[in-house]
Structure 1
Amino acid sequence: MIERQFPRSLHPYWPKLQEKSRTWLREMRLMPPDKVERYADSLCYTDLVAGYYIGAPDELLTAIADLSSWFFAWDDRHDRDSVHGRAGQWRRLCRGLHDTLDDPQRHLTHADPLVAGFADCVLRLYSFLGPSWNARFARHFHPVIDAYDQEFRNRRSRTVPPVDTYIELRRLTFAHWAWIDLLEPTARRELPRHIRKHPAYRRAALATQDFSAWYNDLCSLPKELAGDELHNLGISLIHHEGLTLEEAVREVHRRVVGCVTEFLRAEEEVLVLAGKLADGTRNGEELADALKSCVFNMRNWFSSVYWFHHESGRYRVDSWDDRSMPPYVSEEIMAENELVGEE
């Protein structure tokens, strides 16, 4: 379905993006240099973003790509801190990230690489559309940090959230609305509230993000079962609905397909709305073009997420020496960060 209905696109800046991403990961100390050289390209983090935000200025695409790489590094820290019970380190990290959203400049030299890297990304992203967009992005990202913290506490207490609770939590840990916000600087225009809140726009946005989150759950299920993770739609279905592994996989797949169908319906309505906005005035034409750019890139999420999960080494758990420990993660770096936090 994806290969047929959602042709794959890549931003022309993508080859340069790979090089810049490797440099940034080293400079920010988010991965050891040897692991950057060995794994960064095969993880395909830049491929993912280069397929999401077609038309973005090169500088913006680079900032989004770095945020995406940072997000995966944060997810890995979350996992390892949960596994080892590093509650103090995790709490300090969450506080640092919350503070960074409100004042990124002050945290550029933070001792924790994840805080400093986040500050670098946020400061760059805040340079494109202005105060109202910046405040909205921060307003959408604060709950993401809190949701990750909830997952940390769930893992420490061995709590598997019920399906409906998990779905709402996943919409936060995937940062649904933050990624949707980034469609606007890609289109070079902030959308007015009545467009962003339009039911068709929100349905299209939610469908593309739910697809991405649940397809990730589908593809990462072996990795997360091996790593004793509790947060996955399949795991919630098994634990709370009594499904077998095979039945849970089929149910997640059914929901993923439903997201595609829902998006295609909503997309038609959004394009009708864009046609109405194009009223012959300069403002109307520019707003219509921006809206069409946003929904075009929502569409691109499907192919980009699909190919990323089939090409990235992040999910090839059967090829790892230790199925519970990704080879691109360094426990030594995690331990160093614990010591830094205590100082």
Structure 2
Amino acid sequence: MPPAKVQEYADGLCYTDLMAGYYTDASDEVLQAIADYSAWFFVWDDRHDRDIVHGRTGHWRRLRHRLHAALDAPRHHLHHPDPLVAGFADSVLRLFGFLPHTWNQRFARHFHAVIEAYDQEFRNRVRGHIPGVEEYLALRRLTFAHWIWTDLLEPSAGCELPASVRRNPAYRRAALLSQEFAAWYNDLCSLPKEIAGDEVHNLGISLITHAGLTLEEAVDDVRRRVEECVSAFLDAEREVLEFARDLDDGTVRGKELGAAVRSCVGAMRNWFSSVYWFHHESGRYRVDNWDDRSTPPYVTNETAGEK
């Protein structure tokens, strides 16, 4: 975005509002870091999209390698000439300051996988490959960064959860359902834009192509999946709250873990309302108001040059 477009569109995109509605227990410092990282993520997503649209394979390849490097050594990339790389390094360094090194390593491992998933999407779109439904769902968990947003529940709660807690079946199921809801609802709201742009990465498009559904049937199928996430989450949430009560065994550590799990599952619940609100308030999805339904008006649609 050039400065004039920032002034005109940035607030209406509501990127930071989305995070404020999710991580409601976070301190101001943690919430600001997460919100800035979220805004960076959307900008990265738009750069990735424009690189695909304009066939900038070399630009994307260089960016991919630079992001991997910045994730491994963020302090060394704070002044990188590409502001997208420098902004990422700044966000990562701030996020790494809240919890122990073990959390930082996990976050980095998860985000390395996200970068590679974006590369897979790049290659799919360049080739015009529409993934099958199961292939798409597995890849979507990475391109939507399910485990990144779940990791960020912990600095929001002020506590790194041990693996035994994170791997509890109910906790993991509740976390996955909150993210699946968000990813699939995003696909539902993005479908008009992505059909207009001849894109290949959308659950609705996979259902149309590989399950032989009509557009209307695909929309109904995605909506059904979204609704099932809500009801299944409510069941998982009850189990997680029981698990939190069991953790709170009268010890100081037990009380801390029980409170942290309650905070995390409460934020998972918030994700449903925050995502729903965001998709109906953000200018990112108001495609009927755009001159070109495939191209957001806030994107600088340059065809050459690397920023």
How far apart are the structure 1 equivalents of 2:80 and 2:237? Answer: 42
Q: Please name the residue that 1:12 is paired with.
A: none
Deviations 1:96-143 (A, max 9, x none): 111111100111111212111110100000000021000000011111
* Secondary structure at 1:297 match in 2: helix
Q: Please name the residue that 1:116 is paired with.
A: 86
Question: Matches of residues 2-151 of structure 1 in structure 2 within 5 Å?
Answer: 31-151=1-121
Extract unaligned runs of 5+ from structure 2: none
Q: Please name the residue that 2:195 is paired with.
A: 225
Q: Please name the residue that 1:194 is paired with.
A: 164
Q: Tell me which stretches of 4 or more aligned residues in structure 1 moved more than 3 Å.
A: none
How far apart are the structure 2 equivalents of 1:226 and 1:130? Answer: 45
Q: Which of the numbers 206, 217, 220 marks the counterpart of 2:176?
A: 206
Q: Please name the residue that 2:232 is paired with.
A: 262
How far apart are the structure 1 equivalents of 2:198 and 2:286? Answer: 16
Extract unaligned runs of 5+ from structure 1: 1-30
Q: Which amino acid aligns with 1:123?
A: L
Query: Would the aligned equivalents of 2:26 and 2:156 in 1 still touch at CA under 8 Å?
Result: yes
How far apart are the structure 2 equivalents of 1:267 and 1:335? Answer: 49
Q: Which amino acid aligns with 2:62?
A: R
How far apart are the structure 2 equivalents of 1:173 and 1:185? Answer: 22
| 1:165 shift after superposition | 0.2
Deviations 1:169-218 (A, max 9, x none): 00000000010000000000000110000100100000000000000000
| 1:289 shift after superposition | 0.3
| 1:335 shift after superposition | 3.7
* Secondary structure at 1:110 match in 2: coil
Q: Please name the residue that 1:276 is paired with.
A: 246
* Secondary structure at 2:200 match in 1: coil
Identity rate, percent = 70
How far apart are the structure 1 equivalents of 2:229 and 2:236? Answer: 10
| 1:225 shift after superposition | 1.1
Q: CA RMSD in A?
A: 1.0
How far apart are the structure 2 equivalents of 1:245 and 1:311? Answer: 24
Q: Which of the numbers 219, 225, 235 marks the counterpart of 2:205?
A: 235
Asked if residue 155 in structure 1 is aligned to residue 129 in structure 2, the reply is no
How far apart are the structure 1 equivalents of 2:125 and 2:222? Answer: 22
How far apart are the structure 1 equivalents of 2:37 and 2:199? Answer: 23
Aligned pair count reads 307
Q: Which of the numbers 167, 171, 177 marks the counterpart of 2:147?
A: 177
| 1:93 shift after superposition | 0.4
In the superposition, the TM-score normalised over structure 2's length comes to 0.98
Q: Which amino acid aligns with 2:285?
A: Y
How far apart are the structure 1 equivalents of 2:81 and 2:129? Answer: 32
